[in-house]
Amino acid sequence: MEKQPTGRWTPDDVRHLLGRTGFAVDESQIARFEGLSRDDAVELLLREARQAPVPAAPEWVKEPWSNTERRYKDTTSEEFRRMHGMTNGRYSRETADLRRWWLEEMIATPVPLREIMTLFWHGHFASSIGKVLVSQAMFQQNATQRQFALGNFRELLREMTVDPAMMIYLDLEDSEGQQPNENYARELFELFALGHGQYSQQDIQETARALSGWQLGPEPGVELPQRETDPETSRRFTRDGLVPQLNADRHDSGSKQLFGATGNLGLDEVVALTAHHPACASFLAGKLIAFFGVDDPNQSVKKRMAAAYRDTHCEITPMLRVLFTSDEFYSPNSRERLIKSPVVLFVGACRQLQLEVEITSGVNRYLSGLGQELFNPPNVKGWPGGETWIGAGTLALRYHLADVVLNSQEPPGMDPIGRGRGRPIPLPKDPAARQATLRNLMGGRPGGSGNEEGGAMMRRGQPGGPAIQIRFEAARLLPDADSLPNEELVTRLLSRMLTISVRPELRTAALEVATQYTGNARVPAIVRLILSSPDYQLV
């Protein structure tokens, strides 16, 4: 494999690497990485991400799942309504707890790259709780994506193909030999592994045949009630477990052709042929390059990443090693261009400001209002990301990040996303013009200069919701803040919170705010200004 060039390693490069591979720059890690070469720093980052301990699962997933709304032919209407209502309440509580659990892990983990990659796969292999419904299946998918986050793509692809949530979401559990369902096969090629134009309709049909017969059944050894089921009953009410099992009677065992191979192809053959398809390496490289915001005009990084994938038989870590050590990753055109996703925006602020956070429904509603509700992407394509995060409605809610994290205040206008909420505002490609556009869009934020009264007046009289429980302590963030002169205090806060170069206008505004307050009151005022700035939207 061709070795990519490695340029000079600077403190700004360290900040850029930590900002992109974590949720925010971790000041405590800068000195540690500055003392290493670029290659060694990236190697340490990747090794720690692969070795990170698995977070403890929520209590409600530690027992095998049972279908508490299982319906039989002799189930009475009254009994079914009672079980159905009870189960809906259970799933609602568990899904809220699942979001809390993952956000807390993102905020607390000492190895954020592993969670960043889990978030990447969460959007790549997208499934929605809105259709899946089964909260335990969504947890299982998340755990699998974390397990293989920096592992082998072929193994991950196999696990995702027969993942319970994915089988429910893309209807694979309803696919049988006599009538194979093509939904998963189509998305497997177009969205998960190859990209548009790299397969034919016949490939989809043959793959659907090869994957027919997979169903979700009970844990081994579980005895099911000997009760008859009405064949017209929905799968949701007849599912007996979440264990993927191949039902030979429903599988098409005839000969099939796919990507040059012929025979009685099944799950393992489909996965192998797809993962080793010539287009797969480049497709994955392109998705990772876009996710981490790297400018690759000549596709040099993509080619090297694809070669690393092929040379290591579908390993993901070597691709990331190429990406994070490339000169292109640190080039000026790769900086100050990636708009933070809502989750990265919120989690990054919590980590940077060392907040004490209780994840409540108010936090989840805020992230949903910003356009990224965990475990509920808009469709099978996941979140488009990039400039689509800045929409006509979502941008207004971004203005209120300081209210959320500094004042535990749920912003007004927390209605579900409508037709206009997610509409993107086009941003110029030129970096300077993009900055100017973002600055103009954010210029009218009341209270953005640190004026607490302005923000309070906006909120006065707004309907309340579930409380946001976040505690900010200036002394915890900067213990010596009270004794620091304004210039040094501003410099330290800007350095802590921004990965991009600081505009003179922002520094001047921060100094003006600092002069309006005394003691530790200066810190939240300056932090509020930074959180409300266009600069903070970028990483």
Residue 8: pLDDT band with limits 50, 70, 90: confident
Indicate the burial class of 21 (C-beta count within 10 angstroms; 0-12, 13-18, 19 or more). buried
Does the pLDDT of residue 133 top 80, yes or no?
yes
How high is the pLDDT of residue 464?
42
Q: Cα–Cα distance between 468 and 347 in angstroms, integer?
A: 14
How high is the pLDDT of residue 505?
96
More confident residue, 9 or 200: 200
270-324: pLDDT as tens digits:
999 999 999 999 999 999 999 999 999 999 999 999 999 999 999 999 999 999 9
Give mean pLDDT, residues 321-333.
97
- Bridge partners (DSSP) of residue 357 are 470
Strand 243-246 versus strand 256-258 pairing type: unpaired
Indicate the domain borders of the chain: 11-51+277-334, 78-222+236-275, 342-537
391-405: pLDDT as tens digits:
888 988 998 999 999
How high is the pLDDT of residue 72?
96
102-125: pLDDT as tens digits:
999 999 999 999 999 999 999 999
Among 107, 102, 123, residue whose Cα is nearest residue 56: 102
How high is the pLDDT of residue 457?
30
Q: Cα–Cα distance between 474 and 523 in angstroms, integer?
A: 6
Percent of the chain with pLDDT over 90: 83
Is residue 529 within 8 A of residue 510, CB to CB? The reply is: yes
- Residue 315: phi, psi to the nearest 5? -80, 140
Residue 430: pLDDT band with limits 50, 70, 90: low
State the pTM of this model: 0.90
More confident residue, 241 or 437: 241
